[in-house]
Amino acid sequence: MSGVTTTCGSYVMRHDPASAAVEVMLRGLKMYGMAQAVGELIEQGAPAFKAAVPILSQLLKAEMAERPKGSLGPVHRLPDQGGTVPGL
């Protein structure tokens, strides 16, 4: 799939959906600094970044699958014992 070309100021940017997906995945993983850096690389059209997009995409998909969905997970509370926990 080819990217969409748009003119922004005095230069032409090429939007690659795969590169944009990497940026979105980084934001989803709360890696905001890396997402910003990827956005800058997309704007620059860095050839090394374009070559790395397939492996970055695979690594980020694996990371998203491995991370827990909730930040804390289910919270299990002890029954109220008047401020004390039996056996302690």
Roughly what angle, to the nearest 10 degrees, separates helices 17-28 and 32-44? Answer: 170
Q: Which residue has the higher pLDDT, 3 or 56?
A: 56
How far apart, in whole angstroms, are the C-alpha atoms of residue 21 and residue 54?
11
Task: Write the CB contacts of 20 (distance below 8 Å, at least 6 apart in sequence).
Answer: 42
Is residue 26 classed exposed, middle or buried when 0-12, 13-18 and 19+ CB atoms within 10 A define those classes? buried
Q: Give me the chain's average pLDDT, please.
A: 78
pLDDT band, very low/low/confident/very high, at 35 (cuts 50, 70, 90): very high
> pTM higher than 0.85 for the full model?
no
